[in-house]
Structure 1
């Protein structure tokens, strides 16, 4: 069974890589038409910083007033119990409308529901089986590598993302980068690093090869063996595998950049043992991803590089490209500015 899954994964990867390389990124083939009217913006009224972050995002992105959802989560714990989440979920769903295709939570915490991420629990429902064995096989997402442009209409799910609010300076800069990405970014590079940490290189077979160029997107590929990237000023995608990533302060992330590292607790946003996904946003990325509980190193629990690349260069927004790239997302939290789409106008 394991050999079959590996074979299937490699076959899928090669197919997606070919599609990414040959992609026709013209307006008629754009992967997304996602806009502000399709975003449900959830604000925690019990947290002034969530209110401030939500208000800034609402204005910056022109989110309709009827799309703003108000909840009250006192003390904003990092993790919710299933009972607490069920109550919150009902409160959110009672305020949604049929046009909304995705959900943005204007806070850093809560980011987990027991062993699940809150973004996955809201999108696909709480997965109790995963919590019985966090290192076990995950439940497949119907949105993985999907052609759907309207996930709620087509699949009855609304992909969710967190807009971190623990630092308004970071939040504002993050939102501004997302908005700036709409103008398009050219002469960028996607960097893929195979590191000395063998256990965290499980998705390295899916890294696109150096030399692959996507001319209409102006994106070059560099696939290298190194524990860190230093001095690059044209970063659009950066994917690696380490518990802690060095050299981020030397990099220049372009508006709309996506970056993540395969490690056990990158999604434990308040954790201290491994690098939080928030550090990517601090460094200048516009969206990231990490797991909130021990997933073991299944590549399916992390963003698949070829799938992520394919959808992003074809015009998908950050939330769509990231969500479509994770096959088993129960433990993974998505963070960032969801509407960033640097290739959306090609």
Structure 2
């Protein structure tokens, strides 16, 4: 097992992680892109027909109120059996419920009290750095993630990257950047030290820099800036995880700060961002040591990302959930 200093560790290697039979796929029948991409995903991942859930969400709202969310969650939950451990929602919006993210509201329950002071600590996740391979069975938590659908072509390419990640362990690099933005580098204390992990064909680079450029071996890229430069010069490996610590990365369809969608556009397979002002509590963002450690132990992208956030109420998880390049 890998040993990283600076953060809590999972107690042991998880059992086989989540697979297609444990994932429900939710399609918005009012969105043609959702219907097409959802069907593409079903075929690509071999999702059982019984796991496909259809709902209607007209008008593409970015945020739901509590009543709208309760109705949506009830529709989804009514169609899920006890073996379903995670849910993939095939749409870009809605991505928030009041000041919570949609994914966290669905998985943990809506915390409306946080909206009075969004910089306050939020409820801790019992799944944080857990060895569990069955979150619903063990914690009554169904993990959730959004699969964005702004471009059918880009969404299909994202799905293909996730599937491809399972075929061969790549030779890659995990980049952790402590930037000149001190406030947005609050989690740098948890960046793994620079080292080589030969058994995983991975090099870890802990850098003092505002960006990287002209590299083609990215498996993980974590940084802290409002906008990440030079993404168009980079190449991400299938299954790559990437995110930036900033307040509005989870505002997927806004442009005041860089949307987390830009990571997927650049070639990453999964990402994370917050939908309301979290301040720079490191607990509200992916802990780098936990994220990397869980991924290298064989967790899927949705498991590794969810296990890495201690206070996830404001964070939206996006991407292809079943990508697992290190599951062997």
TM-score by length of 1: 0.92
Residue number among 195, 213, 235 corresponding to 1:230 in the alignment: 213
Residue number among 240, 247, 257 corresponding to 2:223 in the alignment: 240
Residue number among 157, 180, 185 corresponding to 1:201 in the alignment: 185
Look up the SS of the partner of 2:87 in the other structure: strand
1:213, CA displacement in angstroms? 2.0
User: CA–CA distance in 1 between the matches of 2:181 and 2:6?
Assistant: 22
Q: Which residue of 1 aligns with 2:326?
A: 343
User: CA–CA distance in 2 between the matches of 1:185 and 1:269?
Assistant: 30
Q: Which residue of 2 aligns with 1:250?
A: 233
1:332, CA displacement in angstroms? 0.1
Look up the SS of the partner of 1:13 in the other structure: coil
Is 2:14–2:131's contact at 8 Å kept on the other side of the alignment? no
Question: How does 1:63-82 map onto structure 2 within 5 Å?
Answer: 63-82=47-66
1:185, CA displacement in angstroms? 2.7
Is 1:36–1:64's contact at 8 Å kept on the other side of the alignment? yes
Q: Which residue of 2 aligns with 1:191?
A: 175
User: CA–CA distance in 1 between the matches of 2:21 and 2:96?
Assistant: 27
1:109 and 2:93 correspond: yes
User: CA–CA distance in 2 between the matches of 1:111 and 1:148?
Assistant: 26
User: CA–CA distance in 2 between the matches of 1:13 and 1:96?
Assistant: 39
Q: Which residue of 1 aligns with 2:302?
A: 319
1:33, CA displacement in angstroms? 2.9
Q: Which residue of 2 aligns with 1:290?
A: 273
Residue number among 89, 94, 98 corresponding to 2:82 in the alignment: 98
Q: Which residue of 1 aligns with 2:160?
A: 176
Look up the SS of the partner of 2:299 in the other structure: coil
1:141 and 2:125 correspond: yes
1:223, CA displacement in angstroms? 0.6
Which structure 1 residue ranges, 4+ long, deviate > 4 Å from structure 2? none
User: CA–CA distance in 1 between the matches of 2:57 and 2:152?
Assistant: 19
TM-score by length of 2: 0.97
Which protein has the bigger helix share? 1
Is 1:13–1:307's contact at 8 Å kept on the other side of the alignment? no
Instruction: Spell out, residue by residue over 1:111-130, the C-alpha distance to the aligned partner (whole angstroms, 9 max, x if none).
Output: 00010000000000001121
Q: Which residue of 2 aligns with 1:48?
A: 32
Is 2:8–2:290's contact at 8 Å kept on the other side of the alignment? no
Q: Which residue of 2 aligns with 1:304?
A: 287
How many positions carry a matched residue from both structures? 325
1:260, CA displacement in angstroms? 0.1
1:271, CA displacement in angstroms? 0.8
User: CA–CA distance in 1 between the matches of 2:145 and 2:109?
Assistant: 14
Is 1:193–1:240's contact at 8 Å kept on the other side of the alignment? yes
Residue number among 91, 95, 110 corresponding to 1:126 in the alignment: 110
User: CA–CA distance in 2 between the matches of 1:12 and 1:140?
Assistant: 22
Q: Which residue of 2 aligns with 1:6?
A: none
Instruction: Spell out, residue by residue over 1:90-113, the C-alpha distance to the aligned partner (whole angstroms, 9 max, x if none).
Output: 111111111110000000000000
Q: Which runs of 5+ in 2 are unaligned?
A: none
Look up the SS of the partner of 1:308 in the other structure: helix
Instruction: Spell out, residue by residue over 1:29-67, the C-alpha distance to the aligned partner (whole angstroms, 9 max, x if none).
Output: 555331100001000011111101101100100000000
Look up the SS of the partner of 1:178 in the other structure: helix
Instruction: Spell out, residue by residue over 1:251-282, the C-alpha distance to the aligned partner (whole angstroms, 9 max, x if none).
Output: 11000000000000000001111000000000
Is 2:128–2:307's contact at 8 Å kept on the other side of the alignment? yes
Q: Which runs of 5+ in 1 are unaligned?
A: 1-10, 24-28
Q: Which residue of 2 aligns with 1:13?
A: 6
